[in-house]
Amino acid sequence: MLKVKLFDEEHEKDLESEINSFLETIDSKKVKDIRYQVAVAEDTKDDGTIFCFSALVIYEI
């Protein structure tokens, strides 16, 4: 059976840390795919940029 685990962080290093922590809990042979995405938006209130780093890990149980 396949399962998915979603990750969503504001900083790429936080995403990396969260994924690495999760991967330590499962057998690496069971990981089928990891999909990565970055979204960028303007923050009109603070005149800044908002980043969203996300990943989907597909794995077998």
Domains of the chain, by residue range, sit at 2-60
**pLDDT tens, position by position, 25-52:** 999 999 999 999 999 999 888 778 999 9
Look up the pTM and report it. Answer: 0.85
CB 2 within 8 A of CB 26: no
Specify the pLDDT at position 47: 75
Whole-angstrom distance, CA of residue 34 vs CA of residue 5: 10
Residue 41: DSSP 8-state = E
Task: Name which of 3, 1, 7, 2 is nearest 56 in CA terms.
Answer: 7
